Structure 1
């Protein structure tokens, strides 16, 4: 892989990892510990934060796909890019969509039992961080 493409894709990959770690594993859980933050307020904030994060993730994924595509990549890098893109696509199209429908109901005042949807979302975040880390290391050694 050419060094410029590998460097750009690697930098974007590690930026993406940092954003996911900071928002999904630090900001999101801590938000509900703040005094006066109710479930509806936390959900409202979370929807805005995660909508923005997901849009940025789509942009970062696009940059990675383009820079890797023009960089004459090894097969392993292409596979990792596809894995990361697939994880993001399923997370947004399936898991996040279900969470949005549920949060709509909660914000409308419905009392619902605890959901496992967030567990699935976190599972995808963990898988995505692992795949992104593997991709970043592969790009750094390309």
Structure 2
């Protein structure tokens, strides 16, 4: 396994672990903690997901560079592309809508539940599957 491939495998699985830990554990569990109101949960969520998306964007950039250097097989390249596109849609299209709703809730308004959450979750599932496929494909091709 070359250096670019090793870096790509590590990045894929670290990124996958972060998504699983934050999106599928931290996010739903924080609302079950005692005394966590919707406003507090949203405030924490905004900070956590902003940080996650920044780190994910860095991982995506590292992956694109390492895969360009290492010329992966088609399956790995396609899976990484799907993950990167899902992240881009989340950051560019979905998060701004979610931020507007959380701004309203944090300002004390009674904002209706956003369907954007379901879109974000669906994209998280797509991204999770894509990263898993990418990691497996990279390991097999190494």
With the shorter chain as reference, the TM-score category is: over 0.9
Per-residue deviation, 1:85 = 1.1
Per-residue deviation, 1:80 = 1.9
What TM-score comes out, normalization by structure 2 length? Answer: 0.94
| 1:105 and 2:93 aligned | no
Per-residue deviation, 1:44 = 0.4
Number of the residue aligned with 2:89: 90
Could you list the per-position Cα deviations for residues 68-91 of structure 1 after superposition, in whole angstroms to 9, with x for gaps in the alignment?
A: 100122233222222111111011
Distance in 2 of aligned mates of 1:74 and 1:114: 42
Per-residue deviation, 1:114 = 2.0
Could you list the per-position Cα deviations for residues 55-75 of structure 1 after superposition, in whole angstroms to 9, with x for gaps in the alignment?
A: 000001111111110012223
Equivalent position SS for 1:141: helix
Number of the residue aligned with 1:71: 70
Per-residue deviation, 1:108 = 0.9
Number of the residue aligned with 1:133: 132
Number of the residue aligned with 1:7: 6
Number of the residue aligned with 1:26: 25
Q: How many residues align?
A: 141
Stretch deviating more after TM superposition (110-119 or 40-49): 110-119
> What runs of 5+ residues in structure 1 fail to find an aligned partner?
none
What TM-score comes out, normalization by structure 1 length? Answer: 0.94
Per-residue deviation, 1:39 = 0.5
Q: Is the 8 A contact 2:72 2:138 kept in 1?
A: no
Equivalent position SS for 1:70: helix
Distance in 1 of aligned mates of 2:129 and 2:40: 31
Superposition RMSD in Å: 1.1
Ranges of 4+ aligned residues in structure 1 off by more than 4 Å = none
Per-residue deviation, 1:5 = 1.4
